Structure 1
Amino acid sequence: MENATSQGARWSLAPKYWRPIADILAALLTLTAIGWALSLHRQFGLGLYPQQYFAAIMLFVLPIAFLTLPMQRGTTRESVPAYDLLFAVLSVGAVGFIAHQYPVLVLKIFSRPPEVWVPGLIVILLTLEALRRATGWALIIIIAVFILYGLFGDVVPGRLQGRVQSWDMLTGYIALDSNGILGLPMSVAATVVVSFILFGTLLNLTGGAAFFTDAAMVAMGRFRGGAMKIAVLASGLFGSISGSAVANVVGTGVVTIPMIKRDGYPAHKAAAIEAVASTGGQLMPPVMGAAAFLMAEFLAIPYSEVVLAALVPALLYYVALFIQADLEAARLGIKAIPKDEIPRPRSVLGGMHFMLAFAVLIYLLFWKGFQPERAALWAAAMLIFTSLVLGYRGLRPGVGKLVAALAQTGHGVVEILLISAASGVVIAVLNISGLSFNLTYLLVQIGGGSVILLLALSALVCIILGMGLPTLGVYVLLAALVAPALVQLGIEPIAAHLYVLYFGMMSMITPPIALAAFSAAAIARAPAMATGWAAMRFGWSAYIIPFLFVFSPTLILIGAPQEIALAVITAVIGVWLISAALAGYFSTQLSIFSRGLFALAGMMALLPSGLFPGAVITDIVGVALGAVFMWRDVRLGRIMSATTCH
């Protein structure tokens, strides 16, 4: 122990002590999750409630948070002050007591004895404080509003009036019930998410992330605007695994953004391209983000069904972004990357073994029906094996690196687990107070039975709630508050959940609080708001496509095969035309009038054939007009080129 008066505490723990402790706890967290996923507890004859396992995970999460996260966000930590040591020890005691005594305590929630509400209150307060340090005040304020509603919901007038609860009963319910902190969000985060984060961490440590960037450079570096296309491809691949838009921006943006700027692209647009590409990674199968796994649990369907439903919208998202990157490069005259900066294909081929891990993952998920966490662990095992045997560019991970991956994974999931625990607080209040039913009824009443009005209102609520919040937290709120109202009006449940996920995710690139766009702007040293507005333009498809698949589920692969095929083909053409209109360029610079024509034809082609009676005709007319406009512009470009040559 050493003196640390600068932190306002008499005693503090030096880095040489607290860092190893935090790493050991993080590694134990990961190992515990692996053991649970492989059902090792059953091999030893232990019959445990799932909530006991979730509590055990929180037993690691809270001490790690108080050891590593300083009281003031944005500051760095050297020594750990005495009050954080106290919080860490207190959290271990309270959560450990709940985990050990859970079978007895869960039966006493409604009788409210001190042995239920005292540790419950400690866990709730410490969880919220740890969450504040990890994510800021936004989510804390929202959760505080819900808790106040649970305590005083009877004073709220009208349809939102709730069933009031005593503070000690509400405390026990939130902390111990399977609808609270130890509920559904935690069950997904503590099993599936930990396994996939481990897979992503191993991929990064074994050179897999570098392989995907190199492969993107080989595939796209020789084309105009190659740096932008590399950013789109690499960020989409990496983002599918990371599940965090901001983490993806930081992980790939430090490489791609300077590369794009060096090509002559404006800084704010370089940052916007990266932000949009990174954000979309959470929608890109086969892995997607943590919210997709939670969606499968909410809907009680296999994860593979969520992946299939998300496939076409995600492809349209990236097709739109890729086409805009290409046309912007043509408009600005940006050339390919210099050949000496592109890796040799032969050197990149040495990393093809990384694809075996993905093949194992997809095979186990879709053909063998494995639970996602088990499939991820088998894929991770394949990744370790091929990396040790083959390596990448002569580098093979040592045992030390593989062991370090356990601690790195544990540290990497702390924030997600805290958000999941906090989401459980919201779900608990929604259930016990009746707010979930009341809010669904109110939204349907406000919508007046109009699906379009309710969708527009829901999109606005999604973006507002999402501002400043991580995607997982946003989705849990929206899935509980908004999605039921959409389903009530006859919308397909999976379409409703994908809808709120899309619009909650778009808050990452929608000003005034666009975390992914602003993070990219900081790397590019570009104006934050200019980056946000540019990101909205590049990500335009995500504001439109959700409306389309809600009204016509063919875009989420629900319907007859011929209808799905027609919807996908015409949607791709529509996206191409609208992207050209937004870029202001196709084969030549487009006038305002020509841009309007391209946009009109694109919107007609983008409308799915099942949207309304006769929509097939709209599709055919849109595609035909688009073909005429494209041919006319290409012909004009050839004439201009011939004139210039002469």
Structure 2
Amino acid sequence: MSGSAAPPSSRPLTALVADGLSTLLVLVAIAWSLNLTRKLGFHFYAQQYLALLLGLSLAITFLSSRSCEARPTRAAPWGDQLLAALSLLVLGFVALRYPALVLQVFLKPLAVWVPGLLTTALLLEALRRITGWALPAIVTVFLFLALAGNMLPWDLDLRVQEFRLLSGYMGFDANAVLGLPLAVAGGVIVVFLLLGALLGLTGGTRFFTDLSIALMGRFRGGSMKIAVLSSALFGTVSGSAVANVLSTGTVTIPLIKDDGFSPPKAAGIEAAASTGGQLLPPVMGAAAFLMAEFLEVTYAAVAYAALLPALLFYAALFIQADFEAARLNLRPMHSSRRPPLRRLWGGWHFPLTFAVLIFLLFGRGFQAERAGLWAAATLIVTGMIFGYGGQRPGLRALVQGFAITGRRASEIAVIAAGAGVVIGVLGITGLGFNLTYVLVALGGGNPVVLLLLAALICIVLGMGLPTLAVYVLLAALVAPALVETGVPPMAAHLYVLYFGMMSMITPPVAMAAFAAASIADAPPMRSGLHAMRFGWAAYVVPVLFVAAPSMLLAAPLPVAILAGLTALAGIWAVSAALVGGAVVSGPAPRIALAAAGLALLVPADAFEGGWITDLAGAMGLALVLMLARGERARRARVVEPG
């Protein structure tokens, strides 16, 4: 997809056109983010920009067919070229005529419903090419419900729509295809995709991997800890668990296997760490930007709330990596395998980029896209001047970076537009309200039952779907039901995001785990099960932050600090119990240790008298450790000679 598989001279015209459209998409997105049109005296509806963005994205998708990827010198088939031209023509018409036609949607003229129908059809085909059959099948089901939901044997109390009205609504209304998900994809997400692409071109990805090796290679189990740290650093800007696995896993998984860990374990911890990157501030993944729009809060507020749960998740990964190494009696990585310090000093400007981003986001309150653009500009200047490890991009490489960004952004824009169809159907038919009512009724008014039901729905709906699509579906279908039962909106949306992300490592369809398994040459299902075990904290922590505001840093600072410390102790205890052998051995001590850890995980402000669980957990943990220490001393005396 990067367009770098063949020299420019040998690439066909369709590939060059796709690169040009990709670069244009990024330039248009940057201009829109900087509000250049208004500054130049031109005023457009946001939906006109979004129609142009979608037209470019669809055309790029059709010109970048899989047959062209396999054979870079081969031009796109003529059928795909026609689809690309039709996409530009139809969406260009929508963009140009939008001000006049948007008010006529409910009058159903030919000039409205035909472009809407063509847009929907082109979108479904592009979705199929990008994501496979799962997402377009879901979108088609929702369209069927909007057209003929009253024909189903059960009564959903839907406002079914006439064909022409629905077509026009999908193509022109600001609550459908040209809605909020596409607006976020066409603004802030393009900017951060550009930042990620520039990191790769300037050597930033290699720097963070080298930094992880230098920092963690000196400890036992360093290879696993390298995977955790590098995946966290890269995953926070990549926006995709699978892309993170494929980028960092090619380096970290062989290191883990060389250390003596089994291939399924190597794949499992890499998959879990890569998935968690989308939950870790300061950047998080694409879904976090959309969450801020749904909740009508700043992105900084989302990142602040997500900080403690994400740190606990990665603490669980680090602790398990350490216990796994202790159980196998592994030594630290030899110094000859760690990068020299002088090479790391050459990448000092990469942390500067993130410092600029964090300062502007949290210190100056900049909008996320503006802060991202300043960070990208910083990276371009420092990368061209200093480079890293002999890698210093020139102008051609930067242009290529724009093309790479455009390709990736086009995929996300198509997925976001598909999610807009679902949101549009939920709104125009009243299905969203009805589903919320059904979920609350199934939960029987019991918040615990509803949380378990919501978690199951999130994991099932998330299987096989991209991150952004997972979150939009869950935010529209499940989060309102949680809010209806009294869960704070921020906690509800983070809850569905966490469990939606866990579909990436939860068999039977665990995309991130399966991608890691292919690199590790390991059985996919076993890799998925190991990923679940390493990522166990992500199945527990969401329940905690729903119950206690302190876990989202929404409580007084002393309460939040206490909750974080006791939760960390609980993470340590449960992780030790899961690994076994390093702290305690035998079923009974491990069960007791896990029980003490789970008690410590419950925050004191989760319910009245919640401090009792912390006290009981602390006492239980101390007792188990004392008994384990006594058992080790007894065994040492037994094996002493004489």
Task: Tell me if TM exceeds 0.5.
Answer: yes
- Cα deviations across residues 550-606 of structure 1 (Å, max 9, x unaligned)? 11121011112221111111000000000000001334x511111111101101100
Verify the 8 A CA contact 1:69 1:134 in the aligned structure 2. no
- Cα deviations across residues 617-646 of structure 1 (Å, max 9, x unaligned)? 210221232134335435655776787787
Say which is worse superposed, 563-572 or 621-630, in terms of deviation. Answer: 621-630
Q: Which residue of 2 aligns with 1:252?
A: 248
1:391 matched to 2:398: no
1:633 matched to 2:624: no
CA distance in 1, matches of 2:602, 2:453: 21
Q: Which residue of 2 aligns with 1:622?
A: 617
CA distance in 2, matches of 1:466, 1:450: 24
Say which is worse superposed, 146-155 or 346-355, in terms of deviation. Answer: 346-355
Q: Which residue of 2 aligns with 1:606?
A: 601
- Cα deviations across residues 269-322 of structure 1 (Å, max 9, x unaligned)? 100000000000000000000000000000001111100111011001100011
Q: Which residue of 2 aligns with 1:512?
A: 508
- Cα deviations across residues 504-550 of structure 1 (Å, max 9, x unaligned)? 11000000000000000011110011111111111111111111111
Find the partner of 1:558 among 534, 544, 554. Answer: 554
Name the amino acid aligned to 2:421.
Answer: V
1:212 matched to 2:208: yes
Verify the 8 A CA contact 2:266 2:520 in the aligned structure 1. yes
Change (3 A) 1:75 1:593: farther
Q: Which residue of 2 aligns with 1:38?
A: 34
Change (3 A) 1:592 1:77: farther
1:117-132 to structure 2, matched below 5 A, reads: 117-132=113-128
1:24 matched to 2:51: no
Verify the 8 A CA contact 2:320 2:576 in the aligned structure 1. yes
CA distance in 1, matches of 2:68, 2:546: 43
Find the partner of 1:371 among 367, 373, 395. Answer: 367
SS in 2 for 1:523: helix
Name the amino acid aligned to 1:316.
Answer: L
CA distance in 2, matches of 1:403, 1:638: 65
CA distance in 1, matches of 2:113, 2:637: 82
Q: Which residue of 1 aligns with 2:270?
A: 274
CA distance in 1, matches of 2:196, 2:622: 42
Verify the 8 A CA contact 2:177 2:421 in the aligned structure 1. yes
CA distance in 1, matches of 2:293, 2:65: 31
CA distance in 1, matches of 2:71, 2:426: 35
Aligned-pair distance for 1:347? 2.2
Q: Which residue of 2 aligns with 1:186?
A: 182
Aligned-pair distance for 1:130? 0.8
CA distance in 2, matches of 1:16, 1:537: 47
Change (3 A) 1:638 1:207: farther
Find the partner of 1:56 among 37, 43, 52. Answer: 52
Find the partner of 1:222 among 208, 218, 223. Answer: 218
CA distance in 2, matches of 1:163, 1:173: 14
SS in 1 for 2:366: coil
Q: Which residue of 2 aligns with 1:309?
A: 305
SS in 2 for 1:160: coil
Q: Which residue of 1 aligns with 2:329?
A: 333
Change (3 A) 1:163 1:89: same
Change (3 A) 1:236 1:644: farther
1:592 matched to 2:584: no
Verify the 8 A CA contact 1:282 1:289 in the aligned structure 2. yes
Find the partner of 2:259 among 260, 263, 282. Answer: 263
SS in 2 for 1:610: coil
Aligned-pair distance for 1:426? 0.2
Aligned-pair distance for 1:412? 1.4
- Cα deviations across residues 65-103 of structure 1 (Å, max 9, x unaligned)? 011024899998933111111111111110000011110
Q: Which residue of 2 aligns with 1:408?
A: 404
Aligned-pair distance for 1:374? 0.8
Verify the 8 A CA contact 1:72 1:133 in the aligned structure 2. no
CA distance in 1, matches of 2:67, 2:200: 30
SS in 1 for 2:12: helix
Listed as ranges, the gaps of 5+ residues in structure 2 are 1-9
CA distance in 1, matches of 2:509, 2:616: 39
Q: Which residue of 1 aligns with 2:7?
A: none
Aligned-pair distance for 1:16? 1.9
Name the amino acid aligned to 2:590.
Answer: R
Verify the 8 A CA contact 1:73 1:133 in the aligned structure 2. no
Q: Which residue of 2 aligns with 1:474?
A: 470
Change (3 A) 1:382 1:642: farther
Name the amino acid aligned to 1:418.
Answer: V
SS in 2 for 1:312: helix
Say which is worse superposed, 104-113 or 383-392, in terms of deviation. Answer: 383-392
CA distance in 2, matches of 1:241, 1:291: 12
Verify the 8 A CA contact 1:464 1:507 in the aligned structure 2. yes
Q: Which residue of 1 aligns with 2:192?
A: 196
Give the paired residue count. 632
1:72-471 to structure 2, matched below 5 A, reads: 78-156=74-152, 160-471=156-467
Aligned-pair distance for 1:398? 1.3
Change (3 A) 1:74 1:633: farther
Q: Which residue of 2 aligns with 1:11?
A: none
Consecutive aligned runs of 4 or more in structure 1 exceeding 6 Å deviation? 71-77, 641-646
CA distance in 2, matches of 1:239, 1:269: 19
Name the amino acid aligned to 1:177.
Answer: D
CA distance in 1, matches of 2:565, 2:622: 14
TM-score w.r.t. structure 1 length?
A: 0.95
Aligned-pair distance for 1:395? 3.2
Verify the 8 A CA contact 1:277 1:321 in the aligned structure 2. yes
Q: Which residue of 2 aligns with 1:8?
A: none
Name the amino acid aligned to 1:286.
Answer: P
Aligned-pair distance for 1:390? 2.4
CA distance in 1, matches of 2:546, 2:73: 47
Verify the 8 A CA contact 1:68 1:77 in the aligned structure 2. no
CA distance in 2, matches of 1:605, 1:117: 58
Change (3 A) 1:70 1:168: farther
CA distance in 2, matches of 1:465, 1:441: 19
